[in-house]
């Protein structure tokens, strides 16, 4: 969900941004018309996330999934012929698992911890890194299973890398605890098409010589994300969303709102006899609330889920089906979802359950 105010502003500015007589879709990425847009977006992102000066901010393409390859290539790619390096990964869900599979093409992956034993219903305790680990990788919020790290693990001198695609700008996060953060824009920052990478500058320039130019962080940092034509319109939209976050009171105000929204929904589900959140309480996501029908056999549960989804759609509540890999139900309550939307969902859940009794 995008903020309505942002969509309305973007619609009004579609043919003419900043008095240029052009849409942001039409601008040359190196022009005097576009440069203020990308510079404003980076400045706002640095302010809102409190990004230290010794980090570069990159606006890339390829989605967060491309980062599954760029991270190991740039941080641990073999350039000396001395054998593959090792990287530690915490397996906390589907996206972490996909990152593990992709990284295995370039590095020796050591799975430091996993919660697969309980269907990813919790965040596993993260053991410290081992000697020789090139970096330590986590997925901070797991959209499909609805889990979230409460705080980053302490990895000492070993660079900590995190996929924050589904929780970026949802609550304060100490960027200095991480060596590299990345996020697809499409959850909290704007439409799909742009990926934000925040990387500590001392990690730039370590990619092996065989790395394609488009996959090198140092090239994108040197060219200020303008090595090739970036996703200009998405960057423009991201700037509008970041202005909206500032107007809402900044990251602390957004976090408070997200905590209230999640508490409303989890309290409702915990009190329900019909529905059950499968995630252990200390590990519940603020962004993705998963729940399942808690009565009857598989056929009965599936029928009730479909009835729930159909009746919810009639009420204007959509995208409540769980991910296709796990089924069940899921409410993604990203930044732009207002508290009134969550209250409406809570009322619907309570009425749905009452009508079945």
Which amino acids are annotated catalytic? Answer: 95, 163, 187
Contact 270, 264 (CB under 8 A): no
Contact 195, 184 (CB under 8 A): yes
The residues, ordered by sequence, that sit 6+ positions from 168 with a Cβ below 8 Å of its Cβ are 49, 181, 183, 187, 188, 189, 196
The residues, ordered by sequence, that sit 6+ positions from 165 with a Cβ below 8 Å of its Cβ are 64, 95, 141, 143, 182, 183, 184, 187
Give dist(CA 315, CA 272) in Å, integer. Answer: 20
CB atoms within 10 A of CB 179: 23
Q: What is the sign of the dihedral through the CA atoms of 308, 311, 316 and 321?
A: positive
Q: Which of 69, 64, 48, 74 is nearest to 238 (CA)?
A: 48
- Check residue 127 and report its DSSP letter: P
Query: Backbone dihedral region of 146: left (phi > 0), alpha (psi from -120 to 50 degrees) or beta?
Result: left
Give dist(CA 239, CA 144) in Å, integer. Answer: 27
Using CB atoms within 10 Å of the CB of residue 84, give its burial: 0 to 12 exposed, 13 to 18 middle, 19+ buried: middle
**Continuous segment of H or E residues that includes residue 183:** strand 180-184
> How far does Cα 257 stand from its chain's mean position?
18
Give dist(CA 143, CA 163) in Å, integer. Answer: 11
Q: Which of 196, 179, 178 is nearest to 187 (CA)?
A: 196
Q: What are the φ/ψ torsions at residue 281 (nearest 5 degrees)?
A: -55, -45
Q: What are the φ/ψ torsions at residue 229 (nearest 5 degrees)?
A: -65, 115
Number of residues assigned to the chain: 357
**Continuous segment of H or E residues that includes residue 199:** strand 195-200
């Amino acid at each position: 969900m995008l903020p309505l105010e942002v969509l309305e502003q973007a619609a009004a500015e579609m043919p003419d941004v900043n008095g240029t007589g052009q849409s942001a879709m039409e601008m040359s990425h190196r022009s005097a018309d576009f440069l203020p847009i990308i510079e404003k977006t980076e400045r706002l992102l640095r302010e809102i996330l409190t990004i230290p000066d010794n980090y570069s901010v990159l606006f890339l393409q390829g989605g967060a999934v491309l980062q599954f390859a760029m991270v190991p290539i740039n941080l641990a790619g073999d350039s000396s012929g001395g054998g593959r390096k090792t990287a530690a990964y915490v397996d906390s869900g589907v996206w972490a698992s996909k990152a593990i599979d992709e990284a295995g093409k370039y590095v020796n992956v050591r799975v430091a911890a996993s919660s697969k034993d309980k269907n990813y219903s919790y965040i596993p305790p993260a053991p410290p890194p081992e000697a020789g680990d090139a970096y330590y990788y986590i997925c901070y919020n797991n959209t499909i299973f609805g889990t979230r790290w409460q705080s980053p693990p302490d990895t000492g001198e070993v660079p900590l890398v995190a996929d924050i695609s589904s929780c970026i700008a949802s609550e304060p996060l100490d960027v200095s605890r991480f060596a590299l953060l990345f996020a697809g824009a499409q959850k909290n920052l704007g439409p799909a098409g742009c990926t934000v990478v925040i990387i500590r500058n001392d990690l730039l320039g370590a990619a092996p010589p065989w790395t394609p130019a488009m996959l090198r962080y140092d090239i994108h940092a040197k060219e200020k994300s303008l090595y090739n034509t970036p996703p200009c319109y998405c960057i423009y939209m991201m700037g509008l969303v970041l202005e909206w976050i500032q107007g809402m009171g900044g990251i602390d105000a957004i976090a408070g709102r997200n905590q209230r929204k999640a508490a409303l929904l989890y309290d409702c589900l915990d009190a329900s006899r019909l529905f059950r959140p499968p995630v252990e309480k200390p590990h519940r996501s603020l962004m993705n609330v998963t729940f399942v029908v808690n009565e009857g056999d598989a056929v009965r549960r599936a029928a009730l889920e479909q009835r729930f989804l159909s009746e919810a759609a009639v009420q204007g509540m959509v995208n409540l089906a769980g991910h296709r890999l796990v089924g069940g139900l899921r409410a993604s309550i990203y930044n732009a979802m207002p508290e009134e939307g969550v209250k409406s969902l809570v009322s619907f859940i309570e009425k749905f359950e009452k009508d079945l009794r």
